[in-house]
Structure 1
Amino acid sequence: MKFFITGGSGLLGERLATIASNDDEIVLSHNSNPTKNTIKCDITDKNEVEKVINKNKPDTIVHCAAMTDVDLCEDEIDIAYRINSDGTRNMAQAAENIGAKIIYVSTDFVFDGDKGYYSEDDEVNPLGIYAKSKYDGEVQLKKYSTNWAIARVSVLYGWHKKANFTTWVINQLRSNNSINIVTDQINSPTYADNAGEAIFEIAKQDKNGIYHTAGNDRINRFDFTQKIAEAFNLNKDLINPTTSDKFIQKAPRPRDSSLNVNKIKKELGFTMETCSESLERMANCK
């Protein structure tokens, strides 16, 4: 199977290429962050998208590229929608034109966090610009593609040159720095390799619809950080509990956006990993 992956220089894009089967052909694309293994494709440029997709003719497009800085999205609203919504529309149209499947990587932030442990059938209510623009990407996908799937992730982490929450924690604790971590934000932290494996399963089994491809946990940030320290044999005494009201954050955060991952197990026979399982795998990789 031939895959075209947007955001190929990002965490999930890179991990998808790494864990892909030797039988698969992988084409990675970038916009502003090129690597030696990626080709140029500006997802906001409809003509460029059509040209690149028509040339490569993938069986499946995995659309990872996004503007993910939730606070920056509040300042750069037009850019956030251009990337997260319009870019997804362009990819969906290009996929439809060549008869390709498209899998869109979305987020737990489409939920407002009042309930927690959300299933795929729960009503969405995005709070900030990042969340609203990513959800609008879901809307565009459904409108312009007849062969689509949505893979929602939460607090994506793994080894990558750009820091994510988990690698930041590891680096801070290894440097013997004290860190303050909130106890009142609950998520389902997702190991990029495991999310990638789930996405490949969706493609290989040719599934359509929404799937929560997140970590198999409902856990607050403080407890997750404790698990990171345990997995990497770091000093947990450096981790201090705090609450969200102690931080000035421009964008609203859902209180509990944890995801129920039972559907992917039931329909695909694929079990998402717990934090402990994924962190152990990550620790053994480097």
Structure 2
Amino acid sequence: MVKVMVTGATGLLGRAVVAELEAHADFEVLACGYSRAVQGIYRLDLTHCSQVTAFIKTHQPDVIVHCAAERRPDVSEQNPAAALALNADATRSLTQAASQSGAWLLYISTDYVFDGTTPPYNEHSATNPVNFYGDSKRQGEMIVTEAKQGFAILRLPILYGAVETLPESAVMILLHQLLDKNEQLVDDRAVRSPTSTADIACAIVQMIQLQTAGEPLSGHYHFSASGSMSKYQMLLAMGDLLGLSTEHLKPVTSPTDSAKRPHDCSLSCERLASLSIQSNVMFNSGIEKALQQSPAAMALLKK
């Protein structure tokens, strides 16, 4: 039985990872959350190093999947200290505790560690984030790398999946603009690769299985769906899927966000592909399933 600790287990990606792990009988899951911790979730404040150290010492996980993060670029720009506390400082606490206990750590990072000027980016491409969110995640990566314990970093693009609230996903929240029939200005500049959290969770489980079977995984890895599109194109696809008009959506090609976004951070995923770990969920089918699994989103559509 492999004991796997998952941070951010109440979040968008964390829930998918926990569900996929629990579908396998050979895993014991230690699901950790904080603000939304409910029965079955260990309440753990990752910003308190002593709590992290005590938890890992007590439960002795074999694997730690660090999903918890401040993932919102605009919020990170406005409150950099809070972003660093979770994306870097908490990562340091987990890395130190994992090093001491012998657990293998998988740190979830982002395509925003790149500047978006020379895609696609492979696992060895130079990082150069253009906003504070990307920089805070790069700092987390450096902490994990400097530990020199054979830990791994998994970079991911923009995510969608089953949501409890629409703001959990930068993709799913676009439904508000689809449903509000007043003229909506939608970004058609930044190129993204929307990727299913269920698809990612399958990849993470495969990585853990390889690691625990004696095939060490360390360093940087990328996982991403193959399709690239702007948020405007995502909305056109969702509108077509749901049979809703998109005539009120107006594409804009100049930046509109308060935090700068890179133009195109498309990821090349050679290292995982060489291990036969690849994305197999296309956007149309993935977003359709995510909508079906998201009562909050579907309730909006019925109004």
Q: Structure 1's 100 and 174: CA in aligned 2 closer, same or farther, altered over 3 A?
A: same
The answer to whether the Cα contact below 8 Å between 1:104 and 1:149 also exists between their aligned partners in 2 is: yes
- Report whether the alignment pairs 1:13 with 2:14: yes
1:83 and 2:93 are equivalent in the alignment: no
State yes or no: 1:57 paired with 2:32.
Answer: no
Q: Look up the SS of the partner of 1:53 in the other structure.
A: helix
Which of 178, 184, 192 pairs up with 1:187? 192
AA aligned opposite 1:183 = D
Structure 1 residues 279, 212: closer, same or farther in 2, change over 3 A? Answer: same
Deviation at 1:134, TM superposition (A): 0.4
1:125 equivalent to 2:135? Answer: no
Name which of structure 1's ranges 153-162 and 128-137 shifts more when overlaid on structure 2.
153-162
Does residue 71 of structure 1 match 2:74?
yes
Residue identity over aligned pairs, in percent, reads 27
Is 2:142 the partner of 1:139?
A: yes
- Aligned to 1:186, the other structure's residue is in SS state coil
**Aligned residue in 2 for 1:28:** 31
Q: CA deviation at 1:176?
A: 4.8
- Please name the residue that 1:94 is paired with: 97
TM-score by length of 2: 0.87
Q: RMSD between aligned alpha carbons? A: 2.0
SS at match of 1:267: coil
- Does the alignment pair 1:104 with 2:107? yes
**Higher mean C-alpha deviation, range 52-61 or range 30-39:** 30-39
**Matching of residues 43-54 of structure 1 within 5 Å:** 43-54=46-57
Confirm or deny: 8 A CA contact 1:218 1:259 kept in the other structure: no
* Range moving further from structure 2, 20-29 or 274-283: 274-283
Is 2:6–2:66's contact at 8 Å kept on the other side of the alignment? yes
Contact 1:112-1:257 at 8 Å conserved across structures: yes
More off after superposition, 138-147 vs 270-279: 270-279
- Residue of structure 2 in register with 1:235 after alignment: 245
Residue 230 of structure 1, CA deviation: 2.8
Which residue in the other structure is 1:221 paired with? 231
Give, as a single letter, the amino acid of the residue that structure 1 aligns with 2:72.
D
- 2:172 maps to which residue? 167
State the secondary structure of the residue aligned to 1:188: coil
Give CA deviations for 1:148-201 in whole Å, capped at 9, x if unaligned. 111111111112113223322335434656532211101111111111111111
**Secondary structure of the equivalent of 2:65?**
strand
More moved, 36-45 vs 168-177: 168-177
How far apart are the structure 2 equivalents of 1:151 and 1:72?
22
- How many residues end up aligned between the 2 structures? 284
Asked if 2 retains the 8 angstrom alpha-carbon contact of 1:213 and 1:272, the reply is no
Find the residue that maps to 2:247 and give its secondary structure. Answer: helix
* TM-score, structure 1 normalization: 0.91
Indicate if the aligned counterparts of 1:212 and 1:260 stay in contact, CA closer than 8 A.
Answer: yes
Supply the distance in 2 between the matched residues of 1:217 and 1:118 (Cα, whole angstroms). 15
Secondary structure, in 3 states, of the residue corresponding to 1:18?
helix
Identify the residue that residue 282 of structure 2 maps to in structure 1.
274
Which deviates the most, 186-195 or 144-153?
144-153
Gaps spanning 5+ residues in structure 1: where? none
